[in-house]
Structure 1
Amino acid sequence: MENRKETNSAVDIPTTHCTDVESSSISDGTVVASSSWEKSRQWIRSIGAEEYGIERVPESRRINQSPWSLYIAFFSFNCCTTALALGYLGPTLFGLGWWDSFLCVLFFNLIGAVFPAIVTAFGHRTGLRTLIMPRFSFGWWPAKVVVLLNIFTQMGWAIVNALAGGDILFVVGGGKLPKAVCVILIGAVSIIIALFGYEYIHAYQRYAWLIMLSCFVILAGFGGSHFENIPMGSGPQETASVLAFGTAIIGCEVAWVPCAADYSVYMDQETNDWVVIACSYGGLFLSQFLLEALGAALGTLISSPDERFMRAYDSYGLGGLIEETFADRGSGVRGLGIFVQIVLSFSTAAVGVVSMYSIGLSFQMMTGKAVRVPRFIFTVVGGIVFLVCAVAGRDHLESVMTNFANICAYYLVPMTTVLLAEHYLWRKGFTYNLTDWNDKEKLPVGIAAAVSFTLGTLVAFLCMSQAWWVGPIAAAIGGSPTGTDISWMLAPAVTLAVYLPGRYWELRKWKR
Structure 2
Amino acid sequence: MISTTGWNAINSISGASVLNALSNGACPTWAGVIIICTLVWIVCALGINWIQKFDAYLWIPPLACWIFAAAGGAPEFSGNAVKSPTGSSGAAAALTFMAVIFSFAVSWVNCASDYNVRMPLQTPRWKIFVATYVGICVPTVLVQTLGAAIYSGAQHNHAWKAAFVEYGVGGPLALSVARFGGFGKLLLAFSALSAVPNNIPNNYSFAMHAQNFGPWAIRIPRIALVTFGYVVAVIVGCLATKFFSDTLQTFLSIIGYWTIVHIVVVAEEHIIFRGSNWKRYDWEAWYNPDLLPFGWAAIGAFIFGFVGAVLGMKVSWFVGPVAHLIGKKGANIGHELTFAFSSIAFPALRYLEKKYTGK
> What TM-score range do you get, normalising by the shorter chain?
over 0.9
Deviations 1:106-136 (Å, cap 9, x if unpaired)?
xxxxxxxxxxxxxxxxxxxxxxxxxxxxxxx
Q: How many residues align?
A: 355
Residue equivalent to 2:96: 244
Residue equivalent to 1:309: 160
Residue equivalent to 2:327: 479
TM-aligned CA deviation for residue 373 of structure 1: 1.5
CA–CA distance in structure 2, aligned partners of residues 429 and 253 of structure 1 = 28
Name the amino acid aligned to 1:179: T
Deviations 1:24-75 (Å, cap 9, x if unpaired)?
xxxxxxxxxxxxxxxxxxxxxxxxxxxxxxxxxxxxxxxxxxxxxxxxxxxx
CA–CA distance in structure 1, aligned partners of residues 345 and 336 of structure 2 = 15
CA–CA distance in structure 2, aligned partners of residues 509 and 186 of structure 1 = 50
Residue equivalent to 2:338: 491
Residue equivalent to 1:190: 40
Name the amino acid aligned to 1:308: A
SS of residue matched to 1:267? coil
SS of residue matched to 1:191? helix
Residue equivalent to 2:303: 454
CA–CA distance in structure 2, aligned partners of residues 508 and 197 of structure 1 = 43
Residue equivalent to 2:109: 257
Name the amino acid aligned to 2:161: M
Residue equivalent to 1:358: 205
TM-aligned CA deviation for residue 467 of structure 1: 1.2
Name the amino acid aligned to 2:104: C
TM-aligned CA deviation for residue 377 of structure 1: 1.1
Q: Is the 8 A contact 1:254 1:408 kept in 2?
A: no
CA–CA distance in structure 1, aligned partners of residues 106 and 291 of structure 2 = 29
TM-score normalized by the length of structure 2: 0.95
SS of residue matched to 1:153? helix
Residue equivalent to 1:341: 188
TM-aligned CA deviation for residue 186 of structure 1: 1.0
Residue equivalent to 1:400: 247
Q: CA RMSD in A?
A: 1.5
CA change 1:445–1:385 in 2 (3 A) is: closer
Name the amino acid aligned to 1:486: I
Deviations 1:163-189 (Å, cap 9, x if unpaired)?
111000011111122332222111111
Q: Is the 8 A contact 2:261 2:339 kept in 1?
A: yes
CA–CA distance in structure 1, aligned partners of residues 195 and 306 of structure 2 = 29
CA change 1:391–1:292 in 2 (3 A) is: same
SS of residue matched to 1:397? helix
Residue equivalent to 1:465: 314
Residue equivalent to 1:277: 129
TM-aligned CA deviation for residue 191 of structure 1: 0.9
SS of residue matched to 1:472? coil
Q: Is the 8 A contact 2:33 2:238 kept in 1?
A: yes
Residue equivalent to 1:165: 15
Name the amino acid aligned to 2:57: Y
TM-aligned CA deviation for residue 340 of structure 1: 1.0
TM-score normalized by the length of structure 1: 0.67
1:325 aligns with 2:176: yes
Deviations 1:190-238 (Å, cap 9, x if unpaired)?
1111112221111111111122211110111111111010354311111
Name the amino acid aligned to 1:472: P
CA–CA distance in structure 1, aligned partners of residues 189 and 230 of structure 2 = 22
1:287 aligns with 2:139: yes
Q: Is the 8 A contact 1:474 1:485 kept in 2?
A: yes
Residue equivalent to 1:438: 287
- Structure 2, unaligned runs of 5 or more: none
CA–CA distance in structure 2, aligned partners of residues 446 and 370 of structure 1 = 19
CA–CA distance in structure 2, aligned partners of residues 445 and 379 of structure 1 = 27
Residue equivalent to 1:213: 63
Deviations 1:380-439 (Å, cap 9, x if unpaired)?
121112112222222332222222211111211122111111122212242310111122
CA–CA distance in structure 2, aligned partners of residues 491 and 385 of structure 1 = 28
CA–CA distance in structure 2, aligned partners of residues 478 and 302 of structure 1 = 29
